Structure 1
């Protein structure tokens, strides 16, 4: 059923309601979930706010084009309205944004007329819990002109598979991170293979939260050869392009233009309530900043995975080669990885 809204809902009360209901949720992959499709018939794009978003994320300003990641900002309040409902089975507190897949068939104008729709596509078992897929679509002239699929993971016991063998630590973080002591914040969604030649460098690299992985390829069941692991070949890191010094107020600045004012992004004191030593950057800011540096064609598909939180202030390395990009931190730890693929290529 489609539910048409007259205006975008306010984020703050939705986040508060979701937080209050979180302790009462019992996530499992076969749980019922809301099947409503929330529709915003004519989303208003504030050009001043858009320009501020472009400045914070590093996009070029002064033209009429929408940055590739901006429709996610427009749809985020609708997604939060669904995920903060009583009948959404995953707790909002502790929900981890693991990946986003964006498709844009062509350029978008900020002054265009659109319809925005968000729905929960379904739940799936994950070795660390239950994962929800949320679909956001922007339509113009009756056609989908921008679409995304975001996966969100709720960590819990009883998910089956190897995940139950891992000693768990308390996690109270939201969709951009984890509590201290839990060094396994991000996971690949079910059925999503690693890019060719890429080494798995997400939650399986944590020495205190490691779990066995199946061998891949023809060498399954054999000891890995030199230059490889049971997960597959170890690729050389992408070449560094730039080093970015991130200020401590990045979370506050992005929160002001996106509306996502989760306390873990705003100040060290509020971040510590959730187990972080300092505030952390929004995952969607890190992706937007990487794409602003990388550049994208008009018709494009982007896949990005959130692997580890970025502490603020801090220093990160932006690395890219061809259609791949990474954001790395200390000891070559990968925070974000992604691919940019021109459509029709």
Structure 2
């Protein structure tokens, strides 16, 4: 996995001069052959078993360098620092295998207003032999200038936990190694404090992957897993995991004193 540190440095140096009201009409295409050692390392960090079938969240890290290239490239209107990853939806149309060459496509779209600012989607897809088999939609929020007219939110009550996880202080660094996402807020308390966090925080996509790993062996070949990221998980920490069956899948959540993630798996 390529080191994206230079792109984060570029974003820090030039990002705050960015402005605009449209997204660039740019696309990144690449062919990827899965590195089995990298896949094994990812599986271990996120809690998946080691096997030839790719976890549904794994192609996200293959597309991630192209996502960052688009968000630091010409015409992108927002500074990368300060963007908030608020949601991620992945649809798998069939299982993907480690021995399949993957054609990955990444593009930006759907810039729209939000009550707290503006949001947009980064859409990544994977095709095998011309057949689209996997789609990932990550939604990011740029804070500021929103309508602020959202209705008052009721206090949320935590669901009954079905398990609990201790999240080590090194999870941010370990996931950064396999994902390429070396955002300073995930790496060390000192660098996280520079961005307003008391300690380093876990990657949202790590927390999603860890939740999906809890369902391993119980999911159909084709399904969608949709999550909303609520509040960051401070490292180290402890979170409660809850899961409950629904008519066509599962509902799940991560909580501590506040909700961290809420998600739905539907077949």
Q: In 2, distance between residues paired with 1:270 and 1:264?
A: 6
2:48 is the alignment partner of 1:55: no
Structure 1 position 240 matched with structure 2 position 167: no
Q: Which sections of structure 2, spanning at least 5 residues, go unmatched?
A: none
**Number of residue pairs aligned between Structure 1 and Structure 2:** 261
Matches within 5 A, 1:73-112: 73-112=61-100
Task: Specify the alignment match of 2:17 in structure 1.
Answer: 24
The offset of 1:26, in angstroms, is 2.6
Query: Aligned partners of 2:148 and 2:182: how far apart in 1?
Result: 35
Q: Distance in 2 between matches of 1:160 and 1:247?
A: 38
**Counterparts of 2:3 and 2:65 in 1: how far apart (Å)?**
7
Larger Rg: 1
Over residues 144-188 of structure 1, what are the superposed CA-to-partner deviations in whole Å (9 max), with x where a residue is unaligned? 11001111000012x3352xxxxxxxxxxxxxxxxxxxxxxxxxx
Larger relative contact order (CA 8 Å, sep ≥ 6) = 2
1:12 matched to 2:1? The reply is no
Q: Give the alignment partner of residue 328 of structure 1, picking from 229, 251, 255.
A: 255
Give the conservation status (yes or no) of the 8 Å contact 2:158–2:259: no
- The question of 1:250 aligning with 2:171 is answered yes
Q: Tell me if the contact between 1:64 and 1:110 (Cα under 8 Å) persists in the aligned partners.
A: yes
Residue aligning to 1:262: 183
| Cα distance between partner residues in 2 of 1:309 and 1:236 | 18
Following the alignment from structure 2 to structure 1, what is the Cα–Cα distance between the partners of residues 179 and 156? Answer: 35
Q: Return the structure number with greater strand share.
A: 2
Match of residue 194 from structure 2: 273
Deviation digits for residues 63-114 of structure 1, max 9, x if unmatched?
A: 2100010010000100100001131001101000010111001111011022
* Length-normalised TM-score, structure 2: 0.93
Alignment pair present for 1:287 and 2:208: yes
